[in-house]
Chains A and B, each alone.
Chain A
Amino acid sequence: DAKTTQPTSMDCAEGRAANLPCNHSTISGNEYVYWYRQIHSQGPQYIIHGLKNNETNEMASLIITEDRKSSTLILPHATLRDTAVYYCIVRVGGGNAGNMLTFGGGTRLMVKP
């Protein structure tokens, strides 16, 4: 799987949008971009994933650049409960359960009052 690069940490004011960038310049054509987050002492939580189109769900939006070499996860109105480590992962998709998720360092997002 392609490697990803994320900033180590970011701060965001409560109620503002949190924009978390991710570089995946070596992504292959069949690799999806996944975002997970891990709140302290819990298992990772799925947020969103996409291939090349922008995606939105009840938690967040995912913006993928046209060349697919980078993406941004957007939390539209960050709350204190969004404080967590956010992981950007690229993985071959297609529902093949044999393709595991490889975690990098992630971005530690601190939402401040």
Chain B
Amino acid sequence: GAVVSQHPSRVICKSGTSVKIECRSLDFQATTMFWYRQFPKQSLMLMATSNEGSKATYEQGVEKDKFLINHASLTLSTLTVTSAHPEDSSFYICSAFTLLNTEAFFGQGTRLTVV
């Protein structure tokens, strides 16, 4: 099946710094990718929809200036958590649908810890 790769899988950063998470579709092109956040013992919550070549669409309550999304190519979307705070510590997951298939593929997730 199609593969979506996320990097890094784990990151620890200091409060106030920025962290970039990459999401790549390895064997297919994805015009749209999705970013989710998951807190412990909770379900995945959609943060934003990343559109290649245009601005991302953010869900209500998600600060677009804090969570910067760039989808510069058909195989890469990045999520940058700016001025990170401990409450941003979470599991971040990206996904993408292939254009021909109807199922979404997910990255392995990134565990962010802000200290």
Cα A101 to Cα B35 in complex, Å, equals: 11
Interface residue total, chain A, C-beta cutoff 8 A: 24
B109 contact set on A, CB distance < 8 A: 41-43
Q: Are B102 and A93 in contact (CB under 8 A)?
A: yes
| Residue A53 interfacial (CB < 8 Å) | no
Cα A30 to Cα B34 in complex, Å, equals: 22
In the complex, chain A residues 38-79 whose Cβ is within 8 Å of any chain B Cβ: 38, 41-46, 49
Given known A-B contacts A41-B109, A97-B96, A49 and B102 have beta carbons under 8 A apart: yes
In the complex, chain B residues 1-57 whose Cβ is within 8 Å of any chain A Cβ: 1, 4, 6, 30-32, 34, 36, 43-46, 49
Measured as residues with beta carbon below 8 angstroms from the partner, the interface class of chain B is 20 to 34
Most B CB within 10 A of own CB, among A32, A44, A106? A44
Given known A-B contacts A98-B49, A106-B43, A44 and B93 have beta carbons under 8 A apart: yes
- Indicate which residue in B98, B99, B104 contacts A101 across the interface (CB closer than 8 Å): B104
Given contacts A45-B106, A87-B43, 10 further A-B contacts (CB under 8 A): A41-B91, A41-B111, A43-B106, A44-B44, A46-B104, A46-B106, A93-B102, A95-B100, A98-B49, A100-B34
Q: Are B43 and A103 in contact (CB under 8 A)?
A: yes
